[in-house]
Amino acid sequence: MWKQAGLKVLWGGGGRARPLFFFSLLFAAIVFLASWFKADGIKTVFEYDHKLVADIEGLKKIQAENEALREKIRSVREGSYLMEKYAREKLLMARQGEVVFRFHDEPAADKRP
């Protein structure tokens, strides 16, 4: 009985209830659209949420890189082998009395017969 009365009010025979229902539906649609396109609206909240997720992922990546660099620094400070390896390869250093040979690759010149 309540279901039939509700449908009767909404879809016909309700007198003033039918236009009131449609005006309230129109008002709700206008409020939703206004809140969606407003500067601080729902759309902006969703955009900031996606940006926040991307920033958190970038932060995790940077933290992993920092931890790898800390581990590398720790291993260089503790081990003399890695320190010597970096000194030889990156700084081109050698021990006293050693002879170092350096080879340079030169582009091949045009050879004519």
Check whether 8 has a pLDDT greater than 60.
no
Give the chain's domain count.
2
Question: Does any domain span residue 107?
Answer: no
> Do 55 and 76 reside in the same domain of the chain?
yes
| Cα of 13 vs its chain's centroid, Å | 56
List of residues 6+ apart from 75 with CB closer than 8 A: 82
Mean per-residue pLDDT for 86-90?
A: 82
pTM for the full predicted model: 0.44
Does any domain span residue 19?
A: yes
Task: Show the tokens assigned to 98.
Answer: 């050693």
Q: What is the pLDDT of residue 53?
A: 95
- What are the E-state strand segments in the chain? none
- Write out pLDDT tens, residues 48-82: 999 999 999 999 999 999 999 999 888 878 877 77
The length of the chain, given as a count of residues: 113
* Same-domain pairing of 19 and 49: no
Reported as a single tens digit per residue, the pLDDT across 14-49 is 566 677 888 889 999 988 888 877 777 788 888 899
Instruction: Please work out, in degrees rounded to the nearest 5, the angle formed at the alpha carbon of residue 89 by the alpha carbons of 84 and 91.
Output: 85
102-113 tens-digit pLDDT? 787 776 665 555
26 lies in the same domain as 54:
no
- Give residue 27's domain range: 1-37
Cα 73 versus chain centre, distance: 28
